[in-house]
Amino acid sequence: MQTLIAQVINGLSLGSIYVLLVTGFNLLLLVAMIIHFSYPQVVVFSMYISWVVLRATGNNLVLGVLAGIASSVILNLVSAPLFQKVMARRGEVDINSTMVLSMGIGMIITDVLSHSFNQGLPVAFPDNLASDKPIATFGVISIVTGQVWSLAVGIVSVALFFLLLYRTRPGRAFRAIAEDPAGARLVGIPILRTGLYSYALTGVLGGIIAVLLSMLLGSAYPGLGEQVAHKVLAVSIIAGLGNLVGGLVVGLLLGILEAIVQGYVSGSWSNAIAFVVMLVVILVRPKGLFGSRL
Amino acid sequence: MPLELYYFLSITAVNILLSWALYLPYRVAHLHFITVANMAISGYSAAWLVMTLHVPFGWALLVGFALGALVGWLVSLFIGDAPTFAVVIVGFTFIFIVRTVIENLPAVGATMGIFGLPNIGGNPETHRRIIMAILAGMLLVVGFFLHRFDHTRLGRAAAAVFVDKDLAASLGVDIKGLGMLVQTVSCTIAGGTGVLYGFIYKSFHLDFFTFALVGIAMTIIFVGGYATPWGTVVLAPILYGVPLLFPSWLQEWRIVIYGAVLVIVLVLKPEGFITRRFVVTIESFLSGDRKRRDNPASKEDV
């Protein structure tokens, strides 16, 4: 029983990161109207930038965190004109071609990481960011700093994000574009500028996720982005594309499922089991459990 | 045949077949990446049959085709009419699952892979000739099928689904049936291609079936042009061959170059280099049909 509780705590920490990722992914989908498949690769790239800055500054946490957030925002804003150009060329919203473009960006990021940083080997984050020393222990249950931070920051970030979305003027603009882009344009909402805000906002979110992932996992490797990208898209599809509340529920559930499986099944099979469950749900309900918002 | 030429031609043929296997379902807007997983399933199964049960290569190849078709058909029962992004994620998930199963199966060499596959026909030269002959035959058959497909009612139905699914349905197109057909044929092609891919190198390793392979095929299709099968034929040898001329330090950046080319082409020329209009113009020049050349959007060309 204690193992189960320990794994549920692990799962909530991991799930909160999935929730943040899916929320960022869904925001880009609803407002910028793109499937940014490589959004998790942007996050992993930011983890690497944090690692470089931490090494260069003698593990200065503030600079490391700021560098992670800045790189994520910059990468998102740099890719924005590419997505806009593809849609302008097509003369319509075409989320499929944005997905292919995003996959191309993902290919570049993953391969750059495997050639340019630490000779392609995994990078380990310093103890002051990713300590695995427990801060509390109850029997076999031990809680480490990374778990507490990812859960706490995850909850606060999602709460702030929903507050922004439902209680502020820019949030109303985001939702208006998501509901009806033509109607939003008609009432004077600047579509392009609001779309750019969504890139910047998801960039900030991506930087925060990079820091949390670094704290929770303690390391990063070039293929991490691809693996997380598939899970994020799967969670998004299972929840229903663009469904923010559905993403919250399914993201947490996936985190808990993965952690429980890892607690009872050895090594590489655990990931496969999570993928099999996702596959079955997608095969049975390809349009999502909570209904798509597209 | 020199060894370098053999590898260039055979891997180019594999890239063309894999890209065609992705091209066909993309006619109904399905990016069916399960083809890469199918290559691994069929390839490893055929290698196991040959190495463990000493089944002749010809039968193992047929089993590869059949397994590809079976897996493709079974999956298509569920996602024959699914949205593009659902098909994409099913493909990627399949690749992950298949890779995990293979790396945990000692019977197929787990993480070490299968090495030392026998020469077909007894000696290396005959082996290469047989592989090249089969690949050439497959290219002709699949190429002819794809070319004809685009000029049939089914091909036009697929084009209608690509442009507007709802409109196609209201015109009486069986969306799910068509999706199942193209997905099953695509997986059949991938199954056979997977067997040949490993037998070219006389070994199977998980590194053959990575997401980089998906990236290569995707670049070939979208840069070459996704509306005709000819873009693939032109781009596959260029994309595989040109990096071979680079110095070795630059060859390591091959995937970055592919990614950059893909992004640039999608932004500047989203329909790719070989468009439907371009093919129609060439066809009409060859046939001397001036009317069709001047009006490429005629009934035959949609």
Contact A96 B260 (CB under 8 A): no
Nearest CA in chain B to A113: B256
Which pTM value belongs to this model? Answer: 0.88
Q: What's the rounded Cα separation, in Å, for the pair B32 and B186?
A: 8
CA-to-CA distance for B21 and B40, rounded, in angstroms? 14
Tally Cβ neighbours within 10 Å of residue B162. 17
Is the CB of A93 inside 8 Å of chain B's CB atoms? no
For chain A, give every domain's residue range: 2-119+136-284
| Residue A150, token pair as written in the block | 């990812």
Q: Does A104 touch chain B (CB under 8 A)?
A: yes
pLDDT (tens digit, 0 to 9) for every residue of chain A, 294 residues total? Answer: 777 888 888 888 889 899 999 999 988 888 888 889 899 999 999 999 999 999 999 989 999 999 999 999 999 999 999 988 887 765 555 677 888 899 999 999 999 999 989 888 999 998 878 767 777 777 777 788 878 888 888 889 888 888 888 888 888 888 888 778 788 889 888 888 888 888 999 999 999 999 999 988 889 999 999 888 888 888 888 888 888 888 889 999 988 988 888 888 766 777 788 788 888 888 888 778 887 766
Look up tokens 């663009």; give the residue.
A242
**B contacts of A276 (beta carbons < 8 Å):** 97
Name A144's bridge partners.
Answer: A134
Listed as own residue / partner, the contacts of A273-280 with beta carbons closer than 8 Å and 24 or more positions apart are: A274/A231, A275/A230, A275/A234, A275/B93, A275/B96, A275/B97, A275/B100, A276/B97, A278/A231, A278/A234, A278/A235, A278/A238, A278/A254, A278/B89, A278/B93, A279/B90, A279/B93, A279/B94, A279/B97
Sequence length of chain A is: 294
Instruction: State how far the Cα of A112 lies from the Cα of A110, in Å rounded to an integer.
Output: 6
Query: Which residues, in sequence order, are CB contacts of A117 under 8 Å at separation 6+?
Result: A48, A51, A52, A123, A222
Q: List the single residue in B with minimal CA-CA distance to A88.
A: B267
**Measured between alpha carbons, how far is B34 from B239 in angstroms, rounded to an integer?**
22
Residue reference for tokens 């997505």: A83
- Give the phi and the psi of residue A134 in degrees, each rounded to 5: -70, 140
How close, in Å, is residue A138 to chain B by CA atoms? Answer: 34
CA distance A88 to A110: 27
Tell me, which fold does domain A2-119+136-284 have in CATH? ABC transporter involved in vitamin B12 uptake, BtuC (1.10.3470)
Please tell me which of the candidates A85, A237, A271 has its beta carbon nearest to residue B267. Answer: A85
